[in-house]
Each structure stands twice: as structure tokens, then as C-alpha cells.
Amino acid sequence: MSEAATAAMGLTLAVPRGALFGQTLDLLDALGIDTSEVRASPRRLLFSGSGLGGGVERIVTVRPSDVPTYVEWGAADLGVTGKDVLLESRDREVYELLDLHYGECRMVVAARAGDDALEESLRRLGLARVATKYPHIAARHFTETGRQADIVEVKGSVELAPLTGLVDAIVDLTATGRTLVENSLEVREEIVASTARLIANPVAHKLKAAAMDEIVGRIREVRR
């Protein structure tokens, strides 16, 4: 397909399921993109047609952690995901276009409240055991702060790991901190703040520059 033909095509947008889903659809509505069908079909994953409007031809709904994959490989031109996902998957070749200023949360180091297991392990052994769903972020944080950590990757409720003695601490994402408190954990360090970000496929960013620039411009207008 020629560059001109590609440029004339509408955009494909990857929308994250989960915590960012509702606010992302609200943003799309504000941009003149019709999300009524997406909202009405919670089990459907692919939506297409000129009726979407706003220069968008297709919407795919995926897990937030999968958004950079779909965008990098060109299955989506644009996508919305959290900064935490981008930091965890730094090797993905995508362009970060905008901070969308919603979905605010923090990546933190947390440990059992009133317990010095983390500090004691670092002092006695020179090594802490840390559970997380974000092994790359956790490993970088401890390395950059001059400490050694044995990273234990978990898929389920990471809060359980220190309560059972599996680890000294966890690295996890929190919005309010309520889940930590309910599990007798407390924040010891903040690693990074995270919000939703708009990302683009590098090739599409070149070939569909006008359409993407228009979307970015409209987002800036509605976010004022």
C-alpha cells in the first residue's frame, strides 16, 4: 500500500480495559469519537466502521500491559496505557505523545507496618527479597539506589507475599493506599508517579501525521 493510501486511512486506537477504561472512553467521547457501542458490548474486543467518527476507523480493547505490544507491531496506530506499563516495557519501540493527566497512581515500595524486615535484611545480608508484578521497575529502583534485591515475580495479590514471610517488601502500584493499609502494609518509598499516556506507532506517526496531530490537538483543547 502506498504512503498516500495509508495516510488516507483512519486511525486504529488501542483502548485499555480495567482501571483506565471508563476515563479513556470519556476522553474519546469528548473528542467526538462515538464509544456507545464499546460501552454497550463489554465482551467484544474489536469495533470498526466510519460511524466511530473523529478520524478513528477502528478501536481494539486490550489489557493495559498489551497496549504497547499492539502499538509497536502496528496493530494499532495509537494507544492509551499507564506510565507504569511503559516503564516496565522500556524495550517497546513506541512514541509517548501526551500525558493524559488521569489514572493517577504511585509505584511504591511497601512492607509490613511496624516491621523492619526490609531494613534488617539489607543491613545483615546486604540483600532484600522483594515481590512484584513489575520486575524491571523494581530491579532498576534498587540498583539505582545502591541496594541489592532478589526480585520475586508474582501474578496474583502481591500484598500476600510479605504477610506470609515470602519476602521482605513489595513493589506495587497504588492509587489510594487503602489495599496496603487493609493488609497491614505501609509505604516505605515512592518510586514514580504514573498517569495515563497516549502512545503512537513510530511508522504510523510518520505516515498518518496529520490525523495524529489533529487528535493530539483536540486532546490538548479538551484537557484545558
Considering the domain architecture, whether residues 184 and 201 belong to the same structural domain is answered as no
Residues 112 and 183 in one domain: yes
Do residue 99 and residue 7 come from a single domain? yes
110 and 95 together in one domain: no
Does residue 182 sit in the same domain as residue 199? Answer: no
Q: Quick one: 93 and 199 in the same domain? A: yes
Give the pLDDT band of residue 223 (cuts 50, 70, 90): confident
Given a contact cutoff of 8 angstroms between Cβ atoms, the answer to whether 215 and 79 are in contact is no
Q: How many domains does the chain have?
A: 2
Structural domain boundaries, residue 136: 105-193
Burial of 186 (0-12, 13-18, 19+ CB in 10 A): middle
Tell me, what's the pLDDT at 53?
84
Yes or no: say if 94 and 100 are a contact pair by the CB < 8 Å rule: no
Q: What percent of the chain has pLDDT over 90?
A: 87
Q: What is the mean pLDDT of residues 198-221?
A: 96
The answer to whether residues 79 and 111 belong to one domain is no
| 204 and 148, same domain (yes or no) | no
Position 5 pLDDT exceeds 50: no
Whether the pLDDT of residue 6 is over 70: the answer is no
Mean of pLDDT values over 151-165: 94
Same structural domain for residues 187 and 165? yes
15, 99: one domain? yes
Measured CA to CA, the distance from residue 116 to residue 123 in angstroms comes to 10
Q: With 50 as the cut, is the pLDDT of residue 216 above it? A: yes
| Segment 57-112, tens digit of pLDDT | 999 999 999 999 999 999 999 999 999 999 999 889 999 999 999 999 999 999 99
Instruction: Check whether residue 138 and residue 205 sit in a common domain.
Output: no
* 90 and 200 assigned to the same domain: yes
CATH number for 73: 3.40.190.10
What pLDDT sits at residue 90? 87
Is the alpha carbon torsion for 151, 154, 157, 161 positive or negative? Answer: negative
CB 58 within 8 A of CB 48: yes
Q: What is the pLDDT of residue 4?
A: 43
Summary mean pLDDT of the chain: 93
The Cα–Cα gap between 166 and 33 comes to 47
Lookup result for grid cell 539506589 = 145
pLDDT at 174 exceeding the cut of 50 = yes
